[in-house]
Structure 1
Amino acid sequence: MRRPVIALLLAAALLSACGGGGGSDDDAEGTTAPVAGALPEACATPPVAVDLRAGGDHPAGSEAFEATQAVALRTPILPGELAFDGASLSAAQSKAEITPLATYSLYLSDFEVDREVLRGRGLGQVVPPPGKTVGVVSLVPADEGGLAPGTVVTDGELGYDTNTTFAPLSLVVISDGDATAMAHTDVTGEAEVLALDDEQLCVAFDVTVEDDGELVYAGKGTVVAPVVRSDPAFFFT
């Protein structure tokens, strides 16, 4: 299927995301290191070698990229929610904090990702410094029950209506201050959620992104990452 793929790591589009008002910093638990004994054996904690690369005019990464950092950004989805005043925004924020329906963007990098940026009211824009690389595997649930262990995410249609246009499965790999956010692409492959709770996400992914048969991005690996929540005043609708 040929269509724009929206990468959730870069603040270039997604203007239909709703937000405002005060947020909360009470998500320090998102920085908790994963407990290896509580995870499937396949779940690897960084540093870990993964296939993570970009082709074309903006090459980056490699088939044996060493990801020294991993973090998963959780951003709620509230289909059709509108917040026009303080009361409605407060109600929406309360829903955002507890809804099981949320996107997860798994950041893999060879530099320290500022988690305060991810916790803010935005799309989690992370621009790698010179000589460094970041890849983001973005997962959007196919139904309103959200992601759970055993969920397999593929490219396809969502079972609910949103104002934001999502690609259920997407991958972006950038380096050296690049800020490419969108491309007309074909996405193949899948990502399986092996473990997920309030503190950590483990994903096995094998994703290829092409444009007219030319490689744009590729990624394959199994990684566990701590979960960081976006500000509850920022959510997709």
Structure 2
Amino acid sequence: MTPGTTNDNIKTVEAIYDAFGRGDVGFILDQLTDDIDWSSGSESSIAPWYGVRHGKAETAEFFKQLGEAVSVTEFTPLAFASNDTDVMTVIRFAMTSTQTGRSGVMNLHHWWRFREAKIYHYRGTEDTAQTAQLLSTESEAQRGRKDGQEWTKTLATQAELEFIHTLNDQLGNWPPVQRTTTEGSTIPTFIGQRTHTTLTSVTLDATNDYWMAFICAVAGINLPN
């Protein structure tokens, strides 16, 4: 390990973070190679800034899309680790969605790779589930209902009641009680802190129980608006 190189690489990353704080994208791009391989989040479409980008022009679009989607309220480097060619960092990051107004705090993990004092490879990861929640314009009930409907498609060939009993056994501690609907069919009612059912509807708890939305979709129980 070469101490000078290691320290210089860390200083470059620190300078990039300072530039990000003042909105100086041009400075950041100057620290990158022309063939920069840049990716944040994953190839998911959850957030507009997610995905793999190549070259400075596409990387500049990353910052544009991030700036349009959220307002960054905290960006605090917590830790740095490095060798001759790589710098790894942990960042405490807070943002507010410009569209939904929801806010959240998470840790980011950055991996910077250097070639001849320039960054040629960057990978960033974050709490994608929290990001999706902050950016989504759907209500909790709508998201649960959509997930339940999508999951039901993949299970259409299975017996609904049998599947629900199996799922209940796997989750544990939710013994079903048989109820008869107005149509005469039998569905299980789950007794426990997370589920509350009536003959024709279900109330989701405050944390949005996606499992319950799934169960209701399979059982044909209508979710409330």
TM-score over 0.5 for the alignment? no
Larger radius of gyration: 2
Structure possessing the higher relative contact order (Cα contacts under 8 Å, 6 or more residues apart): 1
Measured against the shorter chain, the TM-score band is under 0.3
Instruction: State the TM-score, normalized to the length of structure 1.
Output: 0.24
* Higher percent of residues as helix: 2
Q: When the two structures are superposed, what TM-score results if normalisation uses the length of structure 2?
A: 0.25
